[in-house]
Amino acid sequence: MERKKFIRSLVLAVAAFQGLPKNVSAKTQEKPITNQLQNKNLVSIIPPYLKAGNTIGFTAPAGFITMEEMQPALTEIQSWGLNIKCGLTIGTRNFTYSATDEERTNDMQKMLDDENLQAIMCARGGYGLIRIIDQLNFTKFIQKPKWLIGFSDATVLLNH
At 81-103, the pLDDT tens digits run: 999 999 999 999 999 999 999 99
Q: Which residues pair with 94 in a beta bridge?
A: 97
Report the alpha-carbon distance of residue 108 to residue 20 in Å, rounded: 27
Q: Which residues pair with 147 in a beta bridge?
A: 119
Closest among 128, 132, 58 to 96, alpha carbons compared: 128
Q: What is the mean pLDDT of the segment spanning 127-147?
A: 94
Report the alpha-carbon distance of residue 54 to residue 114 in Å, rounded: 13
Residue range 27-83, pLDDT digits in tens: 445 666 665 555 556 667 789 999 999 999 999 999 999 999 999 999 999 999 999
Question: pLDDT tier at 159 (50, 70, 90 boundaries)?
Answer: confident
Q: Which residues pair with 58 in a beta bridge?
A: 86, 121
Residue range 15-26, pLDDT digits in tens: 555 554 444 444
